[in-house]
Amino acid sequence: MTAGKLMAVLRGGRFVPPPVWLMRQAGRYLPAYRKVRATTSSFLEFCYTPDKATEVTLQPIRRFDLDAAIIFSDILVVPDALGQKVWFAEGEGPKLEPLKDPAEFGKLSRARLPEHLAPVYAALRATRASLPSNKALLGFAGAPFTLACYMIEGGGSRDFAMTKRWAYQHPESFGLLIDLLVDAVVDHLGHQVEAGADAVQLFDSWAGVLPESELFRWSVQPMQRIAQRLREKHDVPVIAFPRAVGPAILMYRRITEFAALSIDTGIGAHWVANELQPHVALQGNLDPIMLVAGGRALEAEARRILNKLGGGRFVFNLGHGIVPQTPPDHVARLVEIVRGWKPGA
């Protein structure tokens, strides 16, 4: 089996100890990342420079020997490729020229996406060429609802109220935007697979702002359509990460097109071991702040999660991305804890 333990779990296997990688494993908490990042002022330009993106993708693999590399890019490269204005203001996070009404959808076009995102695919090819064959290479994209949130609000938001109001008052036109994003994400992930991604993850980071009654239409179904189309064409495993949806995660469990569900920190490992893991492989769900805290708190919590989930189909990961204040030594210690874990010990 190529691409190691992670791919084996995504294809139905089990490993003791489980494979481990960390969301946002490349980033500002690593001095080596900051050094490369400092050579380009624009974050998007940095993402679109294949040799830099390749270098920072490989840094956490070299330093921590993780089981998977996730290509260094961002979910907002898709709105950028569709023709929406996207920029990253220093210390403020992402900014977009917000979509105000459906008349503006006409400005968005998939025609130039493959050309615009060619540097991402070049970085994937270069990364695969230097990555050992027992390490998986992950591609990713934002799920349509989360992308729509940023595209309509024009950046981050506490509650994405404008986006939700649009979805509830004008579901037909919101549906057109979601359809366009389904197509764009299928294109983008398809090209990533052709460039060497072994599996892909869909980040629905803001699914949790929706009530349960709206989740199926705007989160579950669009992600399912993407997974279906990718699997028809490429037979590639898809990991779905519907963040902060609580027990409504049971809706995603039924979708056989998802090879794994990524579990946020708010869901109990014990509950998911009973309700989800018999049906689907799981990934998660250590609190990223445990990784900042380190010491005995980190050790106890990592072991608790391993004891609950490590015996089934499982990929050790965080419940959300690594934060910049994480000491790199705590990441090294976490990998040691996971690799040293034995069931029942």
Give me the residues that bind ligand CP3 (CB under 6 A), please. 23-28, 37, 43, 70, 72-76, 88, 93-94, 140, 156, 203, 205, 321
Q: Toward ligand CP3, which CB reaches closer, 96 or 337?
A: 96
Which neighbouring-strand residues pair with 24?
none
- The one catalytic residue in 29, 48, 121, 150 is 150
CB atoms within 10 A of CB 208: 16
**In whole angstroms, what is the distance from residue 178 CA to residue 145 CA?**
7
Residues making up the chain, counted from first to last = 345
Core vs surface per residue 73-94: b (16+ CB within 10 A) or e: bbbbbbbbbbebebebeeeeeb
Q: Which of 37, 63, 125, 217 is catalytic?
A: 37
CB 247, min distance to ligand CP3, A: 20
Q: By C-beta, is 3 or 61 nearer to ligand CP3? A: 61
217 is catalytic: no
In the chain, the N- to C-terminal Cα span, in Å, equals 29
Q: How far is the CB of 343 from ligand CP3 (least distance, A)?
A: 29
Cβ nearer to ligand CP3, comparing 160 with 258: 160
The nearer residue to ligand CP3, 49 or 205, going by C-beta atoms, is: 205
The DSSP-derived string for 129-171 is HHS-TTSEEEEEEE-HHHHHHHHHHTB--SS-HHHHHHHHH-H
**Distance (Å, whole) CA 318 – CA 24:** 9
Provide, rounded to whole angstroms, the least separation between the CB of residue 203 and ligand CP3: 4
Least distance between ligand CP3 and beta carbon 180 (Å):
19
Q: Which helix (H) or strand (E) holds 338?
A: helix 328-340
Least CB distance from residue 222 to ligand CP3, whole Å? Answer: 16
Is 207:245 a contact under the CB 8 Å cutoff? yes
The full DSSP string for 162-231 is: HHHHHHHH-HHHHHHHHHHHHHHHHHHHHHHHHTT-SEEEEEETTGGGS-HHHHIIIIIHHHHHHHHHHH
Closest to ligand CP3 by CB, 142 vs 341, is: 142
Minimum Å distance from CB 114 to ligand CP3? Answer: 20
Q: Least Å distance between CB 252 and ligand CP3?
A: 16
Residue 63 near residue 69, CB atoms below 8 Å: no
Is residue 74 part of the annotated active site? The answer reads yes
Question: Residue 90 or 235: which CB sits closer to ligand CP3?
Answer: 90
The first and second tokens of residue 235, run together, are 């037979």
Rounded to the nearest 10 degrees, the angle between the axes of helix 295-309 and helix 328-340 is 40
Residue nearest ligand CP3, Cβ-based: 205
If the CB atoms of residues 28 and 217 are measured against ligand CP3, the closer one turns out to be 28
- Residue 33 a catalytic site member: no
Distance CA 256, CA 224 (A): 9
What letter does residue 70 receive in the DSSP assignment? E
Residues classed as catalytic:
24, 28, 37, 74, 150
